[in-house]
Amino acid sequence: MIPPRGPEESERTLHYAGPATFGRVPRLDEVPDTDIAVVGVPFDSGVSYRPGARFGGNAIREASRQLRPYNPAQKVYPFHFAQVADAGDISANPFDVNEAIETIEEAAGELLDTGARLMTLGGDHTIALPMLRAVSRKHGPVAVLHFDAHLDTWDTHFGNRYMHGSPFRRAVEEGIIDTSALSHVGVRGPVYHEDDLTEDAKLGFGIVTSADVMRRGVDEVAQQLRERIGDRPLYISVDIDVLDPAHAPGTGTPEAGGLTSRELLEIIRGLADCHLVSADLVEVAPAYDHADITAVAASHTAYELITIMSRQMGPARWSRVAAEPGA
């Protein structure tokens, strides 16, 4: 096993030139093995309001060009400590939601079978269900932290059970997430009925609203989340609309009163010791953002999530290297 290959860094490297892989890391086919695979899912046929998240993954990749190798907030070189590679995109049928979900689940499972953890770039939030199915086959029911303005535990929309507002209800019904360790973070705004909140609680979710974050502060919120998660395998799902539209205008269903990008990043950093097995970041719709503000926030969020996984996988990688003959 060879040391990880990270992005090329020198005074002569043009961050805006060359292939737009995430953080300018190598492609999956350029490395012998991968610890963390960044994979895009350009699917947005499950949205109920503004479409366009199918272009989110590539917008995040473009914004990630300026990410640098050392993360001072977490004190680690994420691209050097573990092998991060860009696995390209999963092509899912945009005209058939059910078929798309099956395709995404199968492709995610194949990547997980290599031993990699996944940082998935959506796409709309429909994709969280097949990702959770694939992850649960490897780890069993997982704890879930869901950063979002919305509950996403509704039942149906126009009779459709599979769309971006229902993935976590379906996941509870299928028994693929740990109902003793579920939390929404950043929820706010009107809902259809008061019963929406009671039904959500019956599924097992706790709620940290955006107002809670403002009043209690990121450190207290992160501590509460750590206590709820414990040492369980954790899946984090980030809908970029958890941010206030001032920080993320490029999304399909914006709601006023959201988190700042600083608050989101600090809460995620506060989860660095949790057992993060995979994550997704969804609902970036670049057509509604003339200055790429949303994609920049998303790229930094994905960078922090990758850093957490890298910190956890890096020691195992280096112990394997040290154990190899001739190391």
DSSP sequence for 233-274: EEEEEEEGGGB-TTT--SBSS--SS-B-HHHHHHHHHTTTTS
- Residue 100 and residue 241: Cα distance in Å, rounded? 23
On average, the pLDDT of the chain sits at 94
pLDDT of 323 reads 45
- Residue 280 and residue 266: Cα distance in Å, rounded? 17
What are the backbone dihedrals phi and psi of residue 283, each rounded to the nearest 5 degrees, phi first?
70, 25
pLDDT of 30 reads 95
Choose between 45 and 2: higher pLDDT: 45
C-alpha closest to that of 183 among 230, 249, 215, 217: 230
Which single residue is written with the structure tokens 């004190």?
75
Q: Cβ(293)–Cβ(247) under 8 Å?
A: yes
Residue 253 has pLDDT above 90, yes or no: yes
Residue 326 has pLDDT above 50, yes or no: no
Token duo for residue 237: 């799902």
Helices and strands (H and E) in the chain: how many: 10, 8
List domains and CATH numbers for the chain: 22-319 (3.40.800.10)
pLDDT of 268 reads 98
pLDDT of 314 reads 73
- 177-225 pLDDT, tens digit per residue, is 999 999 999 999 999 999 999 999 999 999 999 999 999 999 999 999 9
Residue 327 has pLDDT above 70, yes or no: no
- Binding residue numbers for Mn(2+): 125, 148, 150, 152, 239, 241
- 81-139 pLDDT, tens digit per residue, is 899 999 999 999 999 999 999 999 999 999 999 999 999 999 999 999 999 999 999 99
pLDDT of 52 reads 97
Which single residue is written with the structure tokens 């078929």?
99
In angstroms, the Cα distances linking 97 to 44, 46, 49, 93 are 9, 7, 16, 7
Q: Cβ(220)–Cβ(244) under 8 Å?
A: no
Confidence of residue 8 (pLDDT cuts 50, 70, 90): confident
Q: Cβ(241)–Cβ(185) under 8 Å?
A: no
Confidence of residue 11 (pLDDT cuts 50, 70, 90): low
- Residue 239 and residue 141: Cα distance in Å, rounded? 21
pLDDT of 325 reads 43
pLDDT of 71 reads 95
- Binding residue numbers: 125, 148, 150, 152, 239, 241
In this prediction, residues 46-67 reach a mean pLDDT of 97
Residue 244 has pLDDT above 80, yes or no: yes
- Residue 201 and residue 207: Cα distance in Å, rounded? 8
Helix orientation angle between 261-269 and 293-323, rounded to the nearest 10 degrees = 20
- 13-53 pLDDT, tens digit per residue, is 788 888 899 999 999 999 999 999 999 999 999 999 999 99
- 287-322 pLDDT, tens digit per residue, is 999 999 999 999 999 999 999 999 998 776 655 554
Choose between 11 and 175: higher pLDDT: 175
Question: Rounded to two decimals, what is the model's pTM?
Answer: 0.95
pLDDT of 142 reads 98
Q: 72: which residues sit within 8 A by CB, 6+ positions away?
A: none
pLDDT of 168 reads 98
**Strand ranges, E, within 20-61:** 36-41
